[in-house]
A and B are shown apart, each in its own frame.
Chain A
Amino acid sequence: MASDAPTALANDDWLACAQRMAERMRVRGFDYVMRNDGGYLSQICSSAEIFSYLYTRGLNIGGSIAPLVPEPFAGNPGADNPGYTNGGLYNGPRTPDFDRFYFSPAHYALVLYVALIECGRLSEEALEAFNKDGSKVELIGAEHSPGVESTTGSLGQALSQAIGVAMARRHRDEAGNVWVMMSDGEFQEGQTWEAIQCASHYKLGNLAAIVDVNAQQCDGPMEGVMTVEPLAQRIRAFGGEAVDIDGHDMAAMDAAFKTRAPDRPLFILARTDPTRGVPLMNERPVLHYLRFGSHEERARYQAAFEQLKAESAAWNG
């Protein structure tokens, strides 16, 4: 019994710790949306647990090898810019044993930044540069932005890149896995289905995607714009493994990851609530980007932020 106790305690520790991290992420993210006078708030509400799970439990990565406060933007990759550094350095060194993390929906950048802050990979001062001219901490991240491995603001491109990474790593018998964080809207892109077809053909058991299925996109609810459901069945029909879970339940994420098959890519479909923590957003017909229509509306969101902050402080003790 005594010998089992540390593991059990450790497991409890990660979950409680990750839950607190997700709550803190919502508060910090909401704060910056207010400071930015609008932004991608629903994505923070829906995916805080996904990022928290990845950085506390899912990703097997080393410590950050990038500065806590990012340097100013220093140009794009190119032959004339040999000093260029990739935002993936925040996810640790690219060794054979460590996992790779590909972040697909680049407009979730703020969620990624706050996740990096909450797990100590980025200084909270770094967010002072968020969406400011000359900064790498951009509104929609590119691969110079903290935590961002490749430039995926054109949606649906990260999965194919992760497949190439997974194929190269298998070609070299490397132990590490390849993770992709995706959004459900990306399953409207044909490239995503080409990619699943390919990952299935090459039996990439070293590839796992976790998808924020918040059922929202730029034009509104996906069921009215272009449905991708039944998503799990469609993925399975293309040869992948798919597991539907409650996207705010990180123990379920962990259990889902443990079910992966050695010969199939895994898609964890995290069904999420895009207004989680900010029920005021339920009044909006479209959730993609929060833009205040009036001073009054802004004030109501400011009040909602203060309330979430107070609840979080109480909850975190």
Chain B
Amino acid sequence: MYHYDQYDETLVRERVEQFREQTRRFLAGELSDEEFKALRLRNGLYLQRHAPMLRVAIPYGLLNATQLGMLAHIARRYDRGSGHFSTRQNIQYNWPRLEEVPDILAELATVQMHAIQTSGNCIRNITTDHLAGIAPDEVADPRPYCELIRQWSTLHPEFSFLPRKFKIAVSGSPHDRAALQVHDIGLCLVRNARGGIGFRVLVGGGQGRTPCIGVFIREFLEQRHLLSYLEAILRVYNLHGRRDNIFKARIKILMRHLGAEEFTRQVESEWKHIRDSVLTLKPADIERFQACFPEAPYAEPTDEVNTRVEADCRNLRERNPHFAAWMKNSIVAHKTPGYNAVYISLKAPGQVPGDASAEQMEVVAELAERYSAGEIRVTHSQNLLLGHVRRADLPALWAALDKQQLATPNIGLLGDIICCPGLDYCSLANTASISVANNIQEHFEQMDYLHDLGELRINISGCMNACGHHHVGHIGILGVDKRGQEFYQFTLGGSSREDAALGDRLGPAVSKQQVVEVVQHILKLYLELREPGELFLDTYRRIGLQPFKQRVYEDSRATGSH
């Protein structure tokens, strides 16, 4: 992974000192609430319902064991012993004290971490595929480009006061595991007819209250032009994005206002001026960044070892159904024979989705050291992943994870709910989301076990800001407040993959008590109508919304409209 050089270290250290001074001035009354707000947000600090919330950047979801150990230490020393991994591959602490935040940032800096631009109207943490560098279907490793963009966007003098927040995702594979199409900019690494590697560029996706699937504005951008093209897009947005209405300020609105064609024309026209400037990357620049992400030291096993390992795993699977379920669910193919990537579910029943205790983080850090080249990844579905596990180590790894409640075999299944913190923590939310997630997990775990529901993404947001990505859930659930009561609006058929789609609204919102019942109707209808091998999303796309609508609102009187 990327290691800071002297320049990166200097910048982060100076940033900590700057924020320490800003915090001091605020506490001394020299900075107004509003001014401090603009400054603290770009250091990831929110003033929340109960206490401040600090969001720490995990650039493109990649951590080493020492860093995860530090995150555990911070959870224990400055928080109440846990942290929450977010859908943007970052971690959030819900109980730090404002006065101590500069110290937290100083501690983070010692392990080359920071909270720069994890909030505020600026370019946020760059996200990517959690299988970057190890997926068999990859065109190129996206991480060097993520790091390039991270550096270019860090404290950018021109783009630090944008009309609104700005999110960039990069994928190295045609199979989109980074939700590119719902980002302000999505970059997909592709190969052109001559075999050259470049980017397909998408702009104007987003969630929130005006969800949009982005539009590809350029089919091929040469690597060396990456930064100049981004700068052209951002400049057009910075100059022309709306600033009079916070709900219409994202680039997706500008793009729809101008039309994709006119927007693209403006970007290309701006780009002409700067495409051959200091922003042009030299081959040596790109190579330097690529060299920061070397292959893990793989040792391909001999056939003899392979045969023995496979026999051992088979035996254990036969004897232990829990291990068998985990092997079936949580193990991913790896480009190197004899290795797997392994998901670590942070969705154990009854747990806050995405939360990990300090102890769990420490155990995962230790297991990463022992089994996975000392590296951990955070997925955008709020789980963790070890990227380089020898198949021979799977039984031992499973046993260690299982002891910490980290081996729940529900990755990509009903129990793997994406969920924002909701009313319990967030000052924006107007309804609970965690308890809804837990109710669903509890009620349907058995159903999933009996009927093998297969891949099913349930996403829950506690308000229309959509941090729980409900628009792109196969089943999306949005909390809405109606005269002080919590109601929940369902959408069906969303997807954040390469077949990206926004969910269709099922019908009127239902009360909190009815959420489980509605999920039950939806799943039962799917089980009745699914054809062999069909996943929920396939069935939905085949039969459409109407049968679900009818089942939920007409066939069952219990969920009458509200």
User: Do A and B interact?
Assistant: no
Q: Name B's A-contacting residues (CB within 8 A).
A: none
